[in-house]
Amino acid sequence: MKKLKSDKKKKAPWPTKDAMAQVYEMNLWGGEGDDFYSGSGSHHPDIVDPYIEKVRSFLKSFEEPLVVCDLGCGDFNVGRQLIDHAKKYIAVDIVEELINRNKEKYQEEKLEFRCLDLAMEKWPSGDCAILRNVLQHLSNAEIQAIVRKLPGFKYVILTEHVPDGDFIPNKDIISGQGIRLKKKSGVDLLASPFNLEVEEATQWLSIPSKEWGGRVVTTLYEMGDFEC
């Protein structure tokens, strides 16, 4: 079994770091043995293939390639398929052992991995932030700390697992492996208490989740000169 260390140097007011380390140590999202596996949301072709096609098309549309920050890169099964279309690709995750494994497994000149707590620590700068199935695992307080940093990017590509139909957004949870779907809720950054101001929001994908119910929704936010 993987033995993952907890970083004692900075103690966050939420349990995310330890919870995510436990997910990979105990293979709570699937996978076998000592490898790291970020769940079906990062591997199932019905979810992953349309997403990769859409993001690739977006990144390729720029004459000057974008610097991409993949915030919550997980096992990097998705990110590895996007590197070629970025000027620089910075992949971030909170689990140190996962980042170390990614560094060994994926090595390209314009690829960089960093271990960061997105809510607690300063982010790398870039043009486009990717948050794919990340915020759904976090408490509202932690999401709010992250939302305050999003206006530093021109574009934000957000993917969240939400219920079908109408739902009450942003019911609070304790940060961990679970998501708001059990509460018949999901993350909506434009709704209270986050109230993220954007210049334009365009829904790219809404894919039914056969395994868990609900749908996996990807939205492009074009950021204006706003402060959260």
- Domain contains 22: no
Decide if 24 is inside a domain: no
Residue 226: its pLDDT value, please? Answer: 47
Cα–Cα distance for residue pair 224/172, rounded to 1 Å: 27
Q: What pLDDT band is residue 46 in, cutting at 50, 70 and 90?
A: very high
Residue 45 is assigned to a structural domain of this protein: yes
pLDDT tens, residue by residue, 165-187: 999 999 999 988 889 999 999 99
Query: Pick from 95, 92, 219: which is nearest to 161 by CA?
Result: 219
Q: What is the mean pLDDT of residues 116-145?
A: 96
109 domain-assigned: yes
Domain count, the chain: 1
What pLDDT is recorded for position 6?
Answer: 45
The pLDDT value recorded for residue 227 is 47
Cα–Cα distance, 113 to 106 (Å, whole number): 9
- CATH number of the CATH domain containing 46: 3.40.50.150
Mean pLDDT of 154-164: 97
**Structural domain contains residue 9:** no
Q: How far apart are CA 163 and CA 2, in angstroms?
A: 33
Q: Which domain holds residue 51?
A: 40-222
Cis peptide before 208 (omega within 30 of 0): no
Mean pLDDT (the chain, rounded): 91
Q: Is residue 228 part of a domain?
A: no
Whether residue 16 lies inside any domain: the answer is no
Tell me the average pLDDT across 66-78.
97
Model confidence at 18, in pLDDT bands (50, 70, 90)?
A: confident
Task: State the burial class of residue 3 (Cβ atoms within 10 Å of its Cβ: 0-12, 13-18, 19+).
Answer: exposed
Q: Does residue 36 register a pLDDT over 90?
A: no
For residue 7, is it within any domain? Answer: no
